[in-house]
Chains A and B, each alone.
Chain A
Amino acid sequence: MALSRFASSSSRSANILKPLPAVISFRRAISSDTTPITVETSVPFTSHQCEAPSRSVETNPKELLTFFRGMALMRRMEIAADSLYKAKLIRGFCHLYDGQEAVAIGMEAAITKKDCIITAYRDHCTFVSRGGTLLEVFSELMGRQAGCSRGKGGSMHFYKKDSNFYGGHGIVGAQVPLGCGLAFAQKYSKDETVTFALYGDGAANQGQLFEALNISALWDLPAILVCENNHYGMGTAEWRAAKSPAYYKRGDYVPGLKVDGMDALAVKQACKFAKEHALKNGPIILEMDTYRYHGHSMSDPGSTYRTRDEITGVRQERDPIERIRKLILSHDLATEKELKDIEKQVRKEVDDAIAQAKESPMPEPSELFTNVYAKGLGVEVGIIYTWLSLSVLMFLISFSCIQCCRIC
């Protein structure tokens, strides 16, 4: 990674002060230091039908530490979810994002909460980057009332209305037309905001995606389609699924950009570029070259269609958290111990959230019938009679059981 002159001068000054590390960590207000630092992305951007943005990304210590903390939190959260699933506290489906954290965190750094994000079922980390709390995450995963969807959505259906996070979709590719619809609404309301519609390399071959892309291009909608290419659609490698796995080119007449999705700063640069482009010229496709360490879901070991060497290789060479750690250390923005302390704090936060989530109760049985229709219309009134009769039935059964026990 190329270092700017500014960074090297600060490391020289840090060397001089080295004998007093404790004093430095007090004096260096790293969490609020916004001195600009310029970093080059790992690889240049590859573009299709447009001019690629520059490799030089402006950042600052505060942002880098936010990235580190944020990604460490996401990583720890996903691994904790893995354990909870194996302990059968999380049931159903669980698709983990560890390895792909840079996409969520980099995107958020480039946009505002007024911009919309919509994604598929691998949504835990995107929810957190949009401002969701760990308590909401773990409660929802365990189906508890404190969950973001009141325990009724589960892993695949996280939503956060106040920060325009539209979830959380189980049907492959269905979120892309919805995302373009959101962009339509934004253009209609003249909001000067954009929508990021995320999908995977598997969904990239879906017909509805191209329908939505056509309309977006026809009507110049501010839609940014982001292909999170982790190279495997469930167990199918991209070269077996797509004639052309160059997903950033698949838009044909729609411009595209290929981005190193393991480099949070590259993601940030690309998203910033895409937002400016979409507001002026309509849709653009971003292909994030990323990787997931876990299998497709908790029922997939992830090793039947790829080698363990490949997984460890990516972990060693391209891990997003390690990249930021190296960047922080080489610019001397924090010591290794400080970073480890952050990781310990994060671990504790996650554990506390899990403990709190476990205290949250399951939804009331009546919640089974709420929100099928808008309140007061449709099913609820009629169903209450069925439910009442069910409860009466349960009571009668248990009563007669007690009678039988008495007789016996």
Chain B
Amino acid sequence: MRGGKGTALTLRNIGRRLSQPLPPPIGRMRISSFSHTTCDVENPKSINLYSAINQALHIALETDHRAFVFGEDVSFGGVFRCTTGLADRFGKARVFNTPLCEQDNRAIAEIQFADYIYPAFDQIVNEAAKFRYRSGNQFNCGGLTIRAPYGAVGHGGHYHSQSPEAFFCHVPGIKVVIPRSPKQAKGLLLSCIRDPNPVVFFEPKWLYRLAVEEVPEEDYMLPLSEAEVIREGTDITLVGWGAQLSIMEQACIGAEKDGISCELIDLKTLIPWDKETVEASVRKTGRVLISHEAPVTGGFGAEISATIVERCFLRLESPVARVCGLDTPFPLVFEPFYMPTKNKILDAIKATVNY
């Protein structure tokens, strides 16, 4: 099972590192400071991902009387405890369970596992995404935010581990946002809820308990469609999102021992994605590697690769590398073989740099 005690501690450290404020911007590269609102640095508490999300939901329901939360088993707190306390505080009228029915103001819907989102796919893609466009702006589904835990968890198997983000990235009209850590999750989720477009928010379930970080207690938002350079480097650009970033960070540390300086970018919003930041980084390094848990064919890495080639063809020193899940259904016992591990990424970094 991935994530033994040692890894948990490393993750805590990574959480702390990722949360430190970054140096000021260099040249054209846009590096976002970690929040656009004043942050009470003296008062943040160390909490994990599901608690950060829980805080965001409390704030959302408190600040907007039109907001409400629903999904399978959310009123007792949900299978991941993200909705704990909401029903007690805001009442059954605003926080309620739904029976098994993926297909159905500020609505914050929870899909229990991203693997179950497909029955709702038609409603999300054909109705929510297109309503504003086809009604000439008379109606819209902008108040809708759908939260779903996604990604591998070590033992999830076929239907508790999937990363379906690529399906939704193909739909103009919705936004897809994936946080990497508790502090990011709270700020991004509040932005998603308040964004006037329908948003699908994928939460890396592996990090619910394992990622711990100091998260400010107050209401703050992080901007959508802005990528963040979370580690600076000069030899190769790595692009990822969600839980995969912590694996990539480990690979960057390993590569540093071999004298390779890696720049790591968290995309944060997959559509509409921040092409400028990634392009600026690739223009600096000349090499790029993309990594995600979803299967490689047709994964979102393909879109990033194609766009980078279009924009930076003459600058590239090597082909765009992708280290992703295998083209198989998400396996049970074979999970360690399927996953884009630190060593696979490290090998690809070296191959790309030595091309």
**Using a CB–CB distance below 8 Å, which chain A residues touch chain B?**
147-153, 157, 159-161, 166-171, 174, 177-178, 180-181, 185, 188, 207-208, 211-212, 214-215, 218, 370-374, 377-379, 382
Contacts and interface: CB of A to CB of B under 8 A. Distances in A.
Interface of B is mostly: loop
Contacts of B80: none
Instruction: Select the residue from B101, B105, B142, B173 with max chain A CB neighbours within 10 A.
Output: B101
A215 B101 contact: yes
B197 A211 contact: no
B197 A149 contact: no
Given A177-B104, A379-B272, 20 more contacts: A149-B135, A153-B135, A157-B134, A167-B139, A169-B127, A171-B122, A171-B126, A178-B123, A180-B104, A181-B104, A188-B105, A207-B103, A208-B122, A215-B98, A215-B101, A371-B133, A372-B132, A373-B197, A374-B195, A377-B224
10 contacts: A147-B136, A149-B134, A177-B123, A208-B122, A212-B101, A212-B103, A371-B137, A377-B195, A378-B197, A378-B272
Contacts of B123: 174, 177-178, 208
Interface string B272-304: 100100000000000000000000000000000
B140 interface: yes
Contact of B103 (A148, A208, A372, A382): A208
Contacts of B122: 171, 174, 208
Contacts of A212: 101, 103-104
Contact of A377 (B93, B103, B135, B197): B197
B173 A372 contact: yes
Contacts of A215: 98-99, 101, 104
Contacts of A149: 134-136, 138
Interface string B115-133: 0000000110011000011
A215 B126 CA distance: 21
A170 B127 CA distance: 10
Given A178-B127, A374-B197, A378-B197, A185 B136 contact: no
Interface of A is mostly: loop
Contacts of A180: 104
Contacts of A153: 134-136
Contacts of B180: none
A378 B177 CA distance: 13
Contacts of A170: 126
A370 B140 CA distance: 13
Contacts of B175: 373, 378
B104 A374 contact: no
A157 B134 CA distance: 7
A152 B133 contact: yes
A150 B134 CA distance: 9
B63 to A, nearest CB: 19
A159 B139 contact: yes
Interface in B128-163: 132-140, 142
B225 interface: yes
Contacts of B133: 152, 371-372
A148 B132 CA distance: 13
B319 interface: no
